[in-house]
C-alpha cells in the first residue's frame, strides 16, 4: 500500500510517500518559506506554497520512482494551521483524488508529528513532548485518542523564541547552520538573569517571559545573557511539566517531536529528565522534526488502513483542529499500532 501525503499548514509545502513495507518512507520532499523580514505572513506563505507545490509533488514521485497512478490514497493535513496555506494543500489533494479516482484521507498535523516519531522510535506508548511554532503540548494516548496532559496557555515555544529573535534584531533568518539564532547567541552567554518562570499546574505560559526578556534587552542587558536566560527558563518549564506528566501517567517512554525538537539543548534536557525516571528517550530525526510531507503520508497510511477517508467534496480545512479531537483507530489501549 502506498499513500501520498501533502503538508501545507504554515510555512512548508511538503509531499511525502509512505509504504506499509520497509523502509516505510519512500520520499520526503519539502520547501520552506522564509520571510525576508518579520514573521510568517499567511498570504506570502500561501503564495510560496502555491508556486512550489507542483515541483515538490513531481519531485516526491520521482524520488520514489513512482507515478501518481501507483498511489493507493491521497492524504492531506487539513489542520491545524493558517487558512490561506491549508487551502492550497487541500485544493491540490482534492484535485488529485478526484482527477485520478483516489480515496482522500484527512490528517491532523499534530497527530502526524506524533506518528512519525512513533515510527522512528518504535515506541508503543510514550509521553510526547510536542514543541513547534504553532503548538506546545504534553500528550499521551488514552482511550482512543491522544490526550493533552499540559500545554501552553498562550504562545508556543517556537513562537516565543522566534518572536524574541525578531524583536531583538537577531532574525530573520531564524535558523543558521541548523541552529536557532537565539541558541547560537545564548552559547556566548555568561550570566543567568532572573526571568518569570510560569508553570501553572500542568500548563506553561510564555508570553510574560517574552515581554520580560525583551524589556531586559531594551534596558541594556547583554543580549547573549538574555538569550541564555530565556532558553534556559523556557526549556526548563516545558521539561518540568513533561516530568510531572511522566510521573502521573507512569509511561516508560518519552518522545520529543515538532520543529523545536531540532534544538540540541532542549533534547539534552528532555533526555536527562527521561533517563532520571528510567524511561527510554527518542528525539525525532531532524528531517522529520520540522513540517514535512512524510509524516502526513505515514499517518494517512495508518488511517487509511483503518478505513478513515473523506468525500473530497466534504474535505474542509480546520484551522483550530485540536489533537484530542481526533479518533485514533489504529492504536489499541497499549498504544500498539495495528
Ligand X SMILES: Nc1ncnc2c1ncn2[C@@H]1O[C@H](COP(=O)(O)OP(=O)(O)O)[C@@H](O)[C@H]1O
Q: Is 225 in the site for Mg ion (CB under 5 A)?
A: no
- Of 117, 150, 158, 245, the one binding ligand X (CB under 6 A) is 158
Q: Which of 248, 153, 240 is nearest to 204 (CA)?
A: 153
- Of 41, 63, 179, 305, the one binding ligand X (CB under 6 A) is 179
- Helical ranges in the chain per DSSP H: 42-63, 83-100, 109-121, 157-167, 181-186, 207-218, 223-249, 264-276, 293-305
**Shortest Å, Cβ 1 to ligand X:** 26
CA distance 104 to 81: 19
Partner that binds at residue 260, options ligand X, Mg ion, none, CB closer than 5 to 8 Å by kind: ligand X
- Of 291, 292, 321, 331, the one binding Mg ion (CB under 5 A) is 291
Nearer to Mg ion, 110 or 234 (CB): 110
Q: Is 178 in the site for ligand X (CB under 6 A)?
A: yes
**Shortest Å, Cβ 17 to Mg ion:** 19
Nearer to Mg ion, 229 or 257 (CB): 257
Q: Which of 56, 306, 258 is nearest to 156 (CA)?
A: 258
Q: Is 260 in the site for ligand X (CB under 6 A)?
A: yes
Q: Is 243 in the site for Mg ion (CB under 5 A)?
A: no
- Of 29, 76, 88, 262, the one binding ligand X (CB under 6 A) is 262
Q: Reduce the DSSP state of residue 300 to 3 states and report it.
A: helix
Q: Which helix (H) or strand (E) holds 16?
A: strand 12-19
- Of 19, 28, 52, 132, the one binding Mg ion (CB under 5 A) is 132
Determine the interface stretch with ligand X among 120-128, 132-140, 147-155, 196-204 (rule: CB under 6 A): 132-140
User: For residue 79, what are the β-bridge partners?
Assistant: 108
Q: Is the dihedral of CA 107, 108, 110, 114 positive or negative?
A: negative
Partner that binds at residue 175, options ligand X, Mg ion, none, CB closer than 5 to 8 Å by kind: ligand X
CA distance 140 to 253: 10
Nearer to ligand X, 37 or 194 (CB): 37
DSSP state of 69: G
Q: Is 84 in the site for ligand X (CB under 6 A)?
A: no
Residues with Cβ within 8 Å of 303's Cβ and at least 6 positions away in sequence, in order, are 75, 105, 106, 107, 329, 330
Q: Is 279 in the site for ligand X (CB under 6 A)?
A: no
DSSP state of 316: -
Pair 9, 92: CB distance under 8 Å: no
- Of 180, 251, 269, 282, the one binding ligand X (CB under 6 A) is 180
Determine the interface stretch with ligand X among 92-100, 131-139, 235-243, 304-312 (rule: CB under 6 A): 131-139
Q: Is 175 in the site for ligand X (CB under 6 A)?
A: yes
Site residue total, ligand X (CB under 6 A):
20
Partner that binds at residue 3, options ligand X, Mg ion, none, CB closer than 5 to 8 Å by kind: none
Pair 173, 181: CB distance under 8 Å: yes
CA distance 99 to 223: 54
* Cell numbers standing for residue 316: 474542509
**Shortest Å, Cβ 198 to ligand X:** 19
Nearer to Mg ion, 112 or 185 (CB): 112
**Shortest Å, Cβ 177 to ligand X:** 9
Q: Is the dihedral of CA 44, 49, 52, 54 positive or negative?
A: negative
CA distance 296 to 32: 16
Partner that binds at residue 180, options Mg ion, ligand X, none, CB closer than 5 to 8 Å by kind: ligand X
Binding positions for ligand X, rule: CB under 6 A: 9-11, 132-134, 158, 162, 174-175, 178-180, 258-260, 262-263, 290-291
Task: Give the footprint of Mg ion on this chain (CB under 5 A).
Answer: 132, 291
Amino acid at each position: 500500500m502506498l499513500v501520498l501525503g501533502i503538508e501545507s499548514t504554515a510555512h512548508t509545502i511538503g509531499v511525502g510517500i509512505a509504504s506499509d513495507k520497509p523502509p516505510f518512507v519512500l520520499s520526503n520532499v519539502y520547501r520552506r518559506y522564509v520571510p525576508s523580514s518579520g514573521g510568517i505572513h499567511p498570504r506570502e506563505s500561501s503564495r510560496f506554497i502555491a508556486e512550489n507545490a507542483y515541483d515538490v509533488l513531481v519531485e516526491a514521485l520521482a524520488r520514489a520512482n513512482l507515478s501518481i497512478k501507483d498511489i493507493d490514497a491521497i492524504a492531506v493535513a487539513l489542520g491545524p494551521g493558517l487558512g490561506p496555506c491549508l487551502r492550497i494543500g487541500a485544493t491540490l489533494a482534492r484535485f488529485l483524488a478526484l482527477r485520478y479516482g483516489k480515496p482522500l484521507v484527512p490528517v491532523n498535523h499534530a497527530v502526524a508529528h506524533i506518528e512519525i516519531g512513533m515510527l522512528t522510535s518504535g515506541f508503543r506508548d510514550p509521553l510526547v513532548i510536542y514543541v513547534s511554532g504553532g503548538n506546545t503540548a504534553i500528550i499521551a494516548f488514552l482511550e482512543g485518542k491522544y490526550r493533552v496532559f499540559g500545554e501552553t496557555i498562550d504562545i508556543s515555544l517556537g513562537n516565543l523564541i522566534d518572536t524574541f529573535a525578531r524583536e531583538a534584531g537577531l532574525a530573520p533568518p531564524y535558523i543558521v547552520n541548523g541552529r536557532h539564532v537565539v541558541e547560537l547567541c545564548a552559547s556566548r552567554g555568561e550570566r543567568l538573569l532572573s526571568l518569570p518562570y510560569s508553570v501553572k499546574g500542568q500548563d506553561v505560559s510564555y508570553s510574560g517571559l517574552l515581554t520580560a526578556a525583551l524589556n531586559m534587552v531594551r534596558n541594556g542587558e547583554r543580549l547573549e545573557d538574555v538569550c541564555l536566560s530565556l532558553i534556559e527558563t523556557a526549556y526548563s518549564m516545558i521539561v518540568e511539566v513533561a516530568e510531572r506528566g511522566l510521573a502521573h501517567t507512569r509511561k516508560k517512554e518519552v518522545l520529543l517531536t515538532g520543529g523545536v525538537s531540532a534544538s540540541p539543548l532542549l533534547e539534552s534536557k528532555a533526555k536527562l529528565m527521561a533517563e532520571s525516571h528510567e524511561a527510554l528517550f527518542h528525539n525525532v530525526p531532524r528531517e522529520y522534526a520540522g513540517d514535512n510531507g512524510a509524516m502526513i503520508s505515514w499517518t494517512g497510511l495508518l488511517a487509511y488502513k483503518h478505513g478513515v477517508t473523506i468525500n473530497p467534496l466534504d474535505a474542509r480545512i480546520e484551522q483550530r483542529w485540536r489533537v484530542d479531537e481526533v479518533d485514533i483507530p489504529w492504536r489499541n489501549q497499549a498504544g500498539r499500532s495495528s
